[in-house]
């Protein structure tokens, strides 16, 4: 963990933004973590407006089938895997843990892209995509809730988590629009493949940072 100066006195938006900037400037590991997590967030959010149209218009699924995939299969990972993954998060560094689950999540939009190319197997691939979604999101949810706090020095937890949430809102302001534009100008497969590429890039960068810091002796 970086040594961050004690919290300065003050209140209001300006003070809050100044505190966030100080965190990024002084804690480079956390800054890189949030940068890579930002890439993950783009990948996740950009396919949200695309999937309902893909399921109903390209695959011809009804709303019950869509609800089973997203609302049942997609939530099983969080319900049943979160306790086991929570143990792993305690033993693995956030860079390594989050990188691994991002690579799992890359298979979620990739299966959807395959379903676009192979409509005869589209329904099976759609359900398979949400199996990978369930596995990956169980880990991402833990990472989202806990990782920023693992970087935070004592007394700085609120500032670190505040930056984490602020960046979530920032990517939510444009990532779904990006997905809609890719759908409009490219198509379903293009939107899904770009999402898969962002997931993969985030995963590779997380793991690369872990290896670099481990080689430097900063990670046990």
Kindly report, residue by residue over 49-94, the tens digit of the pLDDT.
Answer: 999 999 999 999 998 899 899 888 888 877 777 666 656 656 678 8
Q: How far apart are CA 83 and CA 46, in angstroms?
A: 28
Residues 209, 32 contacting (CB under 8 angstroms): yes
**φ and ψ of 93, to 5 deg:** -70, 145
Average pLDDT score over the chain: 86
Residue 212 CA neighbour count, 13 Å, CB half? 10
Mean pLDDT of all residues in 142-155: 81
pLDDT at 8 over 50: no
| Alpha helices (runs of H) in 92-187, residue ranges in sequence order | 94-105, 107-117, 122-151, 157-172, 175-185
**Sorting pLDDT into bands at 50, 70 and 90, what band is 165?**
confident
For residue 81, the SS3 value is helix
Which of 17-31, 101-115, 116-130, 133-147 bottoms out in mean pLDDT, i.e. has the lowest?
A: 17-31
Separation between Cα atoms, residue 205 and residue 202, nearest integer Å: 5
Q: Can you say whether the dihedral through the CA atoms of 179, 191, 133, 146 is positive or negative?
A: negative
**Whole-angstrom Cα distance, residue 219 to residue 88?**
16
Compute the average pLDDT of residues 170-184. Answer: 95
The angle subtended at Cα 140 by Cα 137 and Cα 145, nearest 5°, is 125
Contact 151, 143 (CB under 8 A): no
């Amino acid at each position: 963990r970086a040594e961050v100066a004690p919290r300065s006195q003050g209140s209001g938006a300006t003070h809050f933004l100044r505190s966030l900037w100080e965190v990024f400037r002084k804690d480079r590991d956390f800054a890189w973590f949030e940068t890579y997590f930002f890439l993950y967030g783009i990948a996740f959010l950009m396919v949200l407006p695309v999937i309902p149209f893909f399921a109903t218009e390209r695959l011809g699924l009804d709303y019950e089938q869509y609800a089973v995939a997203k609302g049942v299969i997609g939530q099983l990972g969080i319900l049943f895997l979160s306790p086991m993954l929570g143990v792993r998060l305690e033993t693995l560094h956030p860079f390594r843990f989050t990188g691994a689950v991002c690579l799992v999540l890359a298979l979620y939009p990739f299966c959807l892209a395959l379903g676009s190319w192979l409509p005869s197997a589209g329904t099976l691939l759609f359900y398979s995509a949400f199996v990978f979604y369930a596995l990956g999101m169980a880990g991402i949810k833990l990472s989202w809730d806990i990782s920023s706090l693992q970087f935070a020095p004592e007394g700085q937890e609120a500032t670190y988590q505040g930056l984490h949430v602020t960046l979530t809102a920032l990517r939510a302001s444009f990532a779904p629009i990006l997905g809609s534009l890719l759908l409009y100008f490219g198509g379903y497969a293009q939107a899904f493949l770009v999402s898969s590429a962002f997931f993969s890039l985030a995963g590779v960068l997380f793991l690369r940072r872990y290896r670099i810091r481990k080689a430097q002796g900063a990670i046990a």
